Amino acid sequence: MPQHPSLNLTRLRKAAGAAAIDGFFRGLSGVGRWHPNASPARHGVEVLPDIAYLDTGLAQHRLDIWRPRAPTGPSPALLYIHGGGFRILSKETHWVMGLGFARRGFTVFSINYRLAPQFPFPAALQDAAAAYQWVVQHAGEYGADLSELVIAGESAGANLATATTLAACFERPEPWAQAVFATGVVPKVMLPACGMLQVSDAERFRRRKPHKIGPFLQDRLDEVSHSYLHRLSDLPESHRGLADPLVVLEGAAQPLRPLPPCFAGVGTADLLLDDTRRLHTALTKRGVVSEARYYPKQVHAFQAMVFLPQARQYWQDQFAFLEAQLGRSLPTHRGG
């Protein structure tokens, strides 16, 4: 039966919008990498690329290690999980995150993971959990201090970082969550930036602000939700919850281990702003140290655009929080 013309137009609109967004973020990352200040050596940083955290042979199961070239002792470990709506981007596009943390003294484990829609939930979370276990087992081999483990990510990566943290603190039924819990290691600090923390309800933003959510933005939200969760019904109901870590935190279940302090920043022009607000409220109600920062007129993932004054402020605020929670000063970065 022929497709209704309006359906074909909607699909074309969504495909064009997805291509535009994908190209923008990949292009921005690629251009930035040619800048002289992007050189790790300029900042006293070295990179160990493409280390397998799972023995599958897949590029999706590799990580890059960014670390100071001349550390004075063990450095804090940081697991970074990139964003991209669960369906695009990589550790390569997120090089600025590895560099940004490493030049302030962290040993950063920046991971790839399997992407939707080919690999829907829970594949990305299973991979984040496997990478977490790998870091717990191997961080010391790379000069990283596991007692100062930080977990971070932005957008979809913030979702995965938050869900992995919940797996370390709550006793849950999912096998991948149980494996994280079995490590006995809880992150010292959690850094979920501009997170999409409830993927299953893509319409909630339109319900709240219908006059601000046009077709283009709603298409992006629908695309993320569908591509990531289109096989959700294949899972037992008890294995679906960590797709929406915010809902878990807003629920009644109590963790067996204390949740770590959290710094969450977001721009006020970010469509996902409310998820950070809700995260801060949920953590505060649970008595968790939580600092939420809202940056005026900034868009989604602006902190990656380090040439912006507000992005630099974000990094300063984030490092001040880390110093307070780790109880020590971080090295002043070298280079530009």
Label residue 70 exposed, middle or buried (CB < 10 Å: 0-12, 13-18, 19+): exposed
Per-residue model confidence (pLDDT) at position 9? 44
- How far, CA to CA in Å, does 59 sit from each of 22, 63, 110, 127? 19, 9, 13, 12
Query: Which range, of 72-76, 242-246, 289-293, averages the lowest pLDDT?
Result: 72-76
Per-residue model confidence (pLDDT) at position 18? 54
Report whether pLDDT(250) > 70: yes
- DSSP H or E run through 137: helix 123-138
Distance CA 191, CA 168 (A): 15
Instruction: Using DSSP, state whether 239 is helix, strand or coil.
Output: helix
Instruction: Using DSSP, state whether 198 is helix, strand or coil.
Output: coil
16-326: which CATH architecture?
3-Layer(aba) Sandwich (3.40)
Distance CA 177, CA 308 (A): 37
Mean pLDDT of the chain: 91
pTM for this prediction: 0.91
Among 230, 233, 225, smallest CA distance to 202 is for: 225
H-assigned helices in 170-328:
175-182, 204-208, 215-229, 245-250, 273-285, 309-326
Share of the chain above pLDDT 70, in %: 87
Task: Label the pairing between strands 45-52 and 62-68.
Answer: antiparallel
Distance CA 239, CA 12 (A): 34
